[in-house]
């Protein structure tokens, strides 16, 4: 896979430990948190503080759109074209409260409401001034030429005109907005540091190799200068002219799932929707039954190459000079050997990945087991959790019986898997069993990494916390079989919408600097803005918005197995994933807190009413570049 795939590279240098330990630790957890594996399970509803940083692999902007249903409508129309890629709609204005919803985290959330009968903003993508249009009654809007705006920004305008640019690189504008946003946020916690305050702008990332980067060399300076004043003045006015932490429509007036959801037709297999379970046996509270009954092998370029395939062969030396053996037999033998330490895990994985024996590093896994877990936790990991994960992974021929289609570029298709099937696939990813997925030069070079080998390398505290979060998930799904379904829909917009002639009015909008997507956006279409390779750096070093969501909802990670990199007019919609963990912090400060019991209601297809759309964001050298007509059209088509 080429360099654009390396979205998970380290941002900070990782220092290798002097020696790799292999003793079961006797130390206690430094933070005094609940035990990860053998302690009592708790569901805390306290607030999590999530500071926002301008760092790492992917764009960290966060949005929640009101009541999306793109993954849960008539199955025959799941992959049909829509007016835009991640279209949403609702039938009524009822609201529901999410049970056991934790307190808000201070990150940006944007919620879009259902279409209203009232006049809304009229959008024009041309550079010329708009010749009319009505404004919503939610927020008073002033002209950039108004005296109050000019008074507010007299000093700011002088600074931005100096040097012919309002912002140098990506950080200048972000820093300016941090200062403004700290005045705007009404923070009741006086002990909070400035770093923990919410930001009103979408932060950039440091990895230009994975986020699409568009140069600004061909942008005229006249356009930049003409737009800078109005944009700065309108942003400054929004920050200064209100005492509340939100703008637009009150969030309680927006629709939420499942109350606003249209009725679902019976789940069935159609040409553009692959269903891997028996739909006739689908019952609330029952574990879905895999379909078909026996494993059906498919070793082609249209399906995922499974580790249990009879065509998955391993080269070996014989007396005759050479030969091959079943790689699945080798995997079963290696994993059935048992584990007494992290080094045993390493040795087992390398037995069927011999070509990577000198490259793969298991330092993070070893540090977790020797320095970060208490004695009872490490013992429970090796004696219970890992053996249960092995059993789960080796059940692949019984659970994942249907060939899993690849969700390829420019093809609308949906795939519905059971949560148990997903857990089986992720257990195989943990033990790095998927063939031909360890090289950037393989046939899967345009797909994200799925095997977890990069999660085990280095000594970064990020990796330790990631492993804690994922092992919490594996403990849960091996203790009690999950009983729901998850649908993955790749949506392509073709042809693109003609936005300049579009008569559809903008929907209601709630903009806030408080809360989190997963808590305050429950029942709405929740947007993941980050990488064209879904999941970004979740199996590597990345740990911002996209990666965190994929960690606390690990069923999202399996989309990396079969989703090709997103194109400019595509998105991936995931319906039904469950949250298994709570966390605090962001990027370097991220910490796994404890297990979380998700009580989000299920729809008629037994999917959690949680709908997430993955959309890749662009990285700009100059923030004004995002307001060019072609860039705005691209973002509108994505949404």
The fraction of the chain above a pLDDT of 90, given in percent, is 51
Q: What is the pLDDT of residue 264?
A: 92
Q: What is the pLDDT of residue 267?
A: 96
Q: What is the pLDDT of residue 639?
A: 72
Using alpha carbons, list the distances in angstroms from residue 428 to 240, 257, 389, 539, 615: 52, 33, 9, 14, 26
Structure confidence at residue 87 as a pLDDT band (50, 70, 90): very low
Catalytic residue of the set 57, 449, 519, 546: 546
**DSSP strand pairing (62-65 vs 525-530):** antiparallel
Beta bridge partners of 415: 274, 488
Burial call 479-492: b when 16+ CB within 10 Å, e when fewer: eeebbbbbbbbbbb
Structure confidence at residue 329 as a pLDDT band (50, 70, 90): very high
Does the structure show a pLDDT above 50 at 129? no
Catalytic residue of the set 170, 449, 465, 528: 528
**CA–CA dist 3, 619 (Å, integer):** 17
Task: Report DSSP letters for 132-148, one per residue.
Answer: -----SSS----TTSHH
Q: What is the pLDDT of residue 497?
A: 82
Residue 233 annotated in active site: no
Closest CA to 66 of 123, 110, 120, 119: 110
Task: Report DSSP letters for 80-103, one per residue.
Answer: ---SSTT----S-------TTPPP
The fraction of the chain above a pLDDT of 70, given in percent, is 61
Does the structure show a pLDDT above 80 at 386? yes
In 460-602, where do the E strands start and end?
485-492, 509-512, 525-530, 570-575, 581-584, 591-595
On whether 545 is known to bind a ligand per the annotation, the reply is yes
Q: Within 10 Å of residue 267's Cβ, how many Cβ atoms?
A: 22
**pLDDT tens figures, 556-569:** 999 999 999 999 99
166-195 mean pLDDT = 42
Range with lowest mean pLDDT among 146-160, 286-300, 587-601: 146-160
pTM of the model: 0.69
**pLDDT tens figures, 287-317:** 999 999 999 999 999 999 999 999 999 988 7
Closest CA to 532 of 149, 297, 282, 213: 213
**CA–CA dist 265, 118 (Å, integer):** 32
Q: Which long-range contacts (CB under 8 A, 24 or more apart) does 376-382 make?
A: 376/35, 376/37, 376/38, 377/35, 377/36, 377/37, 377/38, 377/39, 378/24, 378/25, 379/24, 379/38, 380/37, 380/38, 381/37, 381/471, 382/339, 382/340, 382/341
For residue 432, what are its two tokens? 């790095």
Closest CA to 449 of 432, 465, 469, 461: 432
Decide: 558 and 415 in contact? Cβ < 8 Å. Answer: no
Q: What is the pLDDT of residue 367?
A: 97
Q: What is the pLDDT of residue 231?
A: 59
Cis peptide bond prior to 258, omega within 30° of 0: yes
Decide: 364 and 456 in contact? Cβ < 8 Å. Answer: yes
Give the containing element (helix H, strand E) for 177.
helix 171-184
Using alpha carbons, list the distances in angstroms from residue 204 to 57, 61, 358, 518: 9, 8, 35, 21
SS3 for 198-252 is CCCCCCCCCCCCCCEEECCCCCCHHHHHHHHHHHHHHHHHHHHCCCCCEEECCHH
Structure confidence at residue 152 as a pLDDT band (50, 70, 90): very low
Highest mean pLDDT among 6-15, 83-92, 433-442 belongs to 433-442
Does the structure show a pLDDT above 60 at 35? no
Instruction: Quote the distance between the C-alpha of residue 549 and its chain's center.
Output: 5
Q: What is the pLDDT of residue 333?
A: 97
On whether 620 is known to bind a ligand per the annotation, the reply is no
**CA–CA dist 358, 288 (Å, integer):** 41
Decide: 395 and 332 in contact? Cβ < 8 Å. Answer: no
**pLDDT tens figures, 490-548:** 999 888 888 888 888 888 889 998 899 999 999 999 999 889 999 999 999 999 999 99
Query: In this structure, what are the phi and psi dihedrals at residue 62, rounded to the nearest 5 degrees?
Result: -135, 130
Residue whose token pair is 């109005």: 230
Q: Torsion-angle region of residue 470: left (phi > 0), alpha (psi -120 to 50) or beta?
A: alpha
**pLDDT tens figures, 267-280:** 999 999 999 999 99
Catalytic residue of the set 6, 457, 465, 547: 547
Furthest-apart CA atoms within the chain: distance in Å: 90
**DSSP strand pairing (109-112 vs 62-65):** parallel
For residue 498, what are its two tokens? 């003609």
Residue 547 annotated in active site: yes
Between 268 and 206, where is the model more confident? 268
- Mean pLDDT taken over the chain: 75
Residues 6+ apart with CB under 8 A from 504: 83, 115
Q: What is the pLDDT of residue 131?
A: 40
Q: What is the pLDDT of residue 353?
A: 96
The arrangement of strands across the sheet holding 570-575 comes to: 246-248, 509-512, 109-112, 62-65, 525-530, 611-616, 570-575, 485-492, 413-418, 273-275
92-101 mean pLDDT = 42
Residue 546 annotated in active site: yes
Structure confidence at residue 636 as a pLDDT band (50, 70, 90): confident
Does the structure show a pLDDT above 80 at 454? yes
Task: Report DSSP letters for 60-72, one per residue.
Answer: --EEEETT--TTS
**DSSP strand pairing (313-316 vs 62-65):** unpaired
Q: What is the pLDDT of residue 232?
A: 59
Residues 6+ apart with CB under 8 A from 627: 227, 231
Q: Within 10 Å of residue 96's Cβ, how many Cβ atoms?
A: 16
Residues constituting the chain: 639
**CA–CA dist 387, 195 (Å, integer):** 41
């Amino acid at each position: 896979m080429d360099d654009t795939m390396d979205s998970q590279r380290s941002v900070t240098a990782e220092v290798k430990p002097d020696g790799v330990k292999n003793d079961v630790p006797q130390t206690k957890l430094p933070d005094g948190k609940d035990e990860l594996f053998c302690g009592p399970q708790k569901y805390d509803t306290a607030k999590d503080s999530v500071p926002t940083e301008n760092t790492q692999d992917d764009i960290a902007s966060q949005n929640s759109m009101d009541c999306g249903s793109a993954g849960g409508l008539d199955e025959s129309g799941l992959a049909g074209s829509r007016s835009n890629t991640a279209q949403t709609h609702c039938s009524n204005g009822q609201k529901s409260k999410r049970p056991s919803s934790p307190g808000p985290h201070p990150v940006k959330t944007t919620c879009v409401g259902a279409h209203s009968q009232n006049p809304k903003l009229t959008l024009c993508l041309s550079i010329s001034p708009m010749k009319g249009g009505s404004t919503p009654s939610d927020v008073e809007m002033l002209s950039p030429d108004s005296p109050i705006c000019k008074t507010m920004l007299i000093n700011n305008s002088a600074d931005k005109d100096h040097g012919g640019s309002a912002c140098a690189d990506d950080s200048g504008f972000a820093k300016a907005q941090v200062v403004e946003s700290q005045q705007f946020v009404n923070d009741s916690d006086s002990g909070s540091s400035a770093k923990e305050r919410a930001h009103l702008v979408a932060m950039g990332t440091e990895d230009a190799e994975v986020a699409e980067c568009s140069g600004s060399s061909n942008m005229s300076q006249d356009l930049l200068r003409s737009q800078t004043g109005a944009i700065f003045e309108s942003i400054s006015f929004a920050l200064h002219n209100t005492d509340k932490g939100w703008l637009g429509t009150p969030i309680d007036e927006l629709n939420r799932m499942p109350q606003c959801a249209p009725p679902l037709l019976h789940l069935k297999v159609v040409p553009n929707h692959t269903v891997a379970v028996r739909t006739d046996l689908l019952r609330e509270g029952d574990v879905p039954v895999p379909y078909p009954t026996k494993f059906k092998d498919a070793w082609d370029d249209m399906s995922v190459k499974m580790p249990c395939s009879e065509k998955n062969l391993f080269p070996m030396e014989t007396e005759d000079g050479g030969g091959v053996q079943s790689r699945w037999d080798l995997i079963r033998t290696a994993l059935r050997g048992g584990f007494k330490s992290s080094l045993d895990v390493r040795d087992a994985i390398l037995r069927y990945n011999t070509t990577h024996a000198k490259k793969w590093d298991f330092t993070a896994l070893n540090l977790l087991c020797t320095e970060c877990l208490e004695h009872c936790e490490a013992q429970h990991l090796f004696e219970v959790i890992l053996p249960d994960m092995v059993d789960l992974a080796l059940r692949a021929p019984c659970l994942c019986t249907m060939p899993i289609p690849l969700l390829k570029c420019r093809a609308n298709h949906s795939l519905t898997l059971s949560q148990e099937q997903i857990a089986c696939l992720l257990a195989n990813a943990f033990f790095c069993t998927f063939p031909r997925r360890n090289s950037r030069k393989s046939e899967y070079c345009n797909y994200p990494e799925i095997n977890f080998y990069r999660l085990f390398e280095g000594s970064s505290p990020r990796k330790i916390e990631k492993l804690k979060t994922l092992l919490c998930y594996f403990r849960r799904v091996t203790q009690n079989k999950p009983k729901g379904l998850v649908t993955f829909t790749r949506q392509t917009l073709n042809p693109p919408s003609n936005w300049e002639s579009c008569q559809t009015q903008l929907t209601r909008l709630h903009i806030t600097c408080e809360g989190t997507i997963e808590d305050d956006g429950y029942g709405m279409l929740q947007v993941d803005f980050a990488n064209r390779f879904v999941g970004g750096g979740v199996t590597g070093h990345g740990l911002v918005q996209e990666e965190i969501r994929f960690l606390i909802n690990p069923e999202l990670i399996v989309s990396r197995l079969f989703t090709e990199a997103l194109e400019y007019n595509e998105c991936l919609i995931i319906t039904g994933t469950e949250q298994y963990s709570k966390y605090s912090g962001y990027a370097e400060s991220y910490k796994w807190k404890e297990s979380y019991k998700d009580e989000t209601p299920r729809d008629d297809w037994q999917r959690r009413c949680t709908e997430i759309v993955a959309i890749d964001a662009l990285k700009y050298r100059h923030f004004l570049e995002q307001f060019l007509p072609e860039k705005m059209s691209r973002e509108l088509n994505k949404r």
